[in-house]
Amino acid sequence: MTPTEAILEKRRRRALPIITSPGGGTIAPELPDFEGVPAEEIIEWAFQEFGLEVVLASSMQDSVLIDLAWKIEPQVEVFFLDTGFHFYETLATARAVRNRYNVNLVMLEPVDEPAVWSQEGYKACCAARKVVPMNNYLKDKKAWMSGLRRVESETRAKAKAVEWDAGRGLVKINPIVEWSDEQVERYIEDNDLIVNPLKLDGYDSIGCVPCTIPGNGREGRWNGTLRAECGIHQVHPAVADPPEPGPTAG
């Protein structure tokens, strides 16, 4: 049995649904409910449905999602938002990941003359260095995968394994959305994965140098503000994008 036949057989056995209208349009397709389905099977479905037109986002905190996807499709394209403000450890992690997996790693750079957090504020800085470059990159894709998990924050608590990214007209796949912190740590240990060294220094969530401090969950992000997300993920309307005070150092 070929790898493709094995995937199809597994889908038949688990009765995993097929999207009934194509991604990339303005009308949301009928999406499958993958609640309780193992991450590996969700990723298999994604590659069977979209081929290499599904790409994987990584913040280089760890290589869990990359490892899971690479074992199923070694040619997966991984993209990383190189904001210009990353920690040295994060850039070193990206190099280590590329070397270990020989993965097709796309480094997305900020827009020309991007906003700076200390002048225009965090929201404008994130938009110029993350949101707009990512939107431009995803224009010709059909779907994207992220390592978003529900336990990370209130803004992510309602996320599903497969969602419609209405702002981009794409299918968004969160294969490990149900995983606990303990499951992540166990997978890292069992597979001897690359992890950003800052995780060992108390940084649960790692962003840019000016706006990241050690903290549990995402509490160390955008220090001194009420901001919880950079804007690349859909968030629940009740907690999305709170009023932003003036930028503060640190």
Domain ranges of the chain: 37-197
Residues 6+ apart with CB under 8 A from 132: 111
Residues 6+ apart with CB under 8 A from 203: 196, 212, 213, 214, 215, 220
Predicted local distance difference test score (pLDDT) of residue 69 = 97
Predicted local distance difference test score (pLDDT) of residue 73 = 97
Q: What is the pLDDT along the chain (250 residues), one digit of tens a residue?
A: 554 455 445 544 444 444 443 444 567 778 888 999 999 999 999 999 999 999 999 999 999 999 999 999 999 999 999 989 899 999 999 999 999 999 999 999 998 888 887 888 778 888 888 888 999 999 989 999 999 898 876 767 788 999 998 888 899 999 999 999 999 999 999 999 999 999 888 787 788 888 887 777 666 565 666 555 555 665 433 333 444 444 443 3
Is-contact 150 156, C-beta < 8 A?
A: yes
Task: State how far the Cα of 234 lies from the Cα of 227, in Å rounded to an integer.
Answer: 14
Rounded to the nearest 5 percent, the helix, strand and coil shares of the chain are: 40, 15, 45
Predicted local distance difference test score (pLDDT) of residue 77 = 97
- The tokens describing 243, both together, are 């009023």
Task: State how far the Cα of 116 lies from the Cα of 122, in Å rounded to an integer.
Answer: 8
CATH for 37-197? 3.40.50.620
In terms of phi and psi (left: phi > 0; alpha: psi -120 to 50; beta: otherwise), the region of 164 is beta
Count of other CB atoms within 10 angstroms of residue 3? 10
Task: Give the torsion sign (CA, 16, 19, 24, 28).
Answer: negative
Report field, pTM of the whole predicted structure over 0.85: no
Task: State how far the Cα of 198 lies from the Cα of 90, in Å rounded to an integer.
Answer: 8
> Which residues are known catalytic residues?
230
Is-contact 48 73, C-beta < 8 A?
A: no
Query: Residue 106: which H helix or E strand, with range?
Result: strand 104-108
Predicted local distance difference test score (pLDDT) of residue 232 = 65
- The tokens describing 246, both together, are 């003036």
Predicted local distance difference test score (pLDDT) of residue 151 = 82
Pairing of strands 143-145, 170-173: parallel
Q: Choose among 131, 156, 157: nearest CA to 232.
A: 131
Backbone angles phi, psi at 53, to 5 degrees: -90, 5
Query: Residue 57: which H helix or E strand, with range?
Result: strand 54-57
Chain-centroid distance of CA 3 in Å reads: 26
Predicted local distance difference test score (pLDDT) of residue 8 = 46
Task: State how far the Cα of 17 lies from the Cα of 142, in Å rounded to an integer.
Answer: 17
Predicted local distance difference test score (pLDDT) of residue 238 = 34
Predicted local distance difference test score (pLDDT) of residue 11 = 45
